[in-house]
Amino acid sequence: MTGKGAQFISFEGGEGAGKSTQIKRLAARLRAHGQEVVTAREPGGTPDAEALRSLVLGGAPGRWSPREEMLLMYAARAQLVRTVIRPALERGAWVLCDRFADSTLVYQGLAGGVPVADVRALHRLVLGDFNPGLTFILDLEPDQGMQRVHSRAEALNQFEQRDTQFYEKAREAYLRLAREEPERCVVIDAARPPDAVEAQIVDAIQARTGVQL
């Protein structure tokens, strides 16, 4: 395998779906194959974007309107892409991102009520047609995901304190995006054990890029 397999891969899904576990596993696997891997989470991934993360995730639900959240997410995303993601891809590294633009389409757009056309217009304005080549959507019943979130010893952020209806809408929205873009999006049943989820992720990467992992 060579650096030619360089890929920008995003991981999406509801809270508690296991995205960060899978990113760690895939990063370790790629590195074991001699690949450079850059991982990032959104919002975040640079000191400034992490500061924006605290602003947008902290406080009570409703602190920001969905439209304001969208703007903050895109300020953070623009800097992350400019300073971390594009340079990494240009050097031939793999980039594994814990959430990307689909999160804005789902949380602020389809579940939050900002017209999807507006979210897409902002994306074009800020990032043009820059998007991941492959997106894994870790699909899980919201109740199961929230049980996992509650079992963590961390304080809940404002997105983790919303009502069940919001998470149901978000889940449906991800599945809709996957139907609209089947060549980019792979839906994975995240209720299965982490090893089974990892195996499906590895299979999909092998099938799409031809690289053996």
Q: Where do contacts with ligand TMP occur on this chain (CB under 6 A)?
A: 15, 41-43, 57, 69, 73, 99, 103-104, 107-108, 159
Minimal distance, residue 100 CB to ligand TMP, in Å: 7
Nearer to ligand TMP, 35 or 160 (CB): 160
* Two structure tokens written together for 92: 């031939």
* Residue 43 preceded by cis peptide, ω within 30: yes
CA 186/CA 166 separation, integer angstroms: 22
Minimal distance, residue 69 CB to ligand TMP, in Å: 6
Contacts of 61 (CB under 8 A, 6+ apart): 158, 159, 161, 162
Q: Which of 126, 128, 131 is nearest to 97 (CA)?
A: 131
Query: What letter represents residue 165's amino acid?
Result: Q
Nearer to ligand TMP, 5 or 66 (CB): 66
Nearer to ligand TMP, 42 or 139 (CB): 42
Minimal distance, residue 2 CB to ligand TMP, in Å: 31
Minimal distance, residue 118 CB to ligand TMP, in Å: 14
Give the number of C-alpha atoms closer than 13 A to the C-alpha of residue 104, restricted to the C-beta side: 27
Nearer to ligand TMP, 37 or 122 (CB): 122
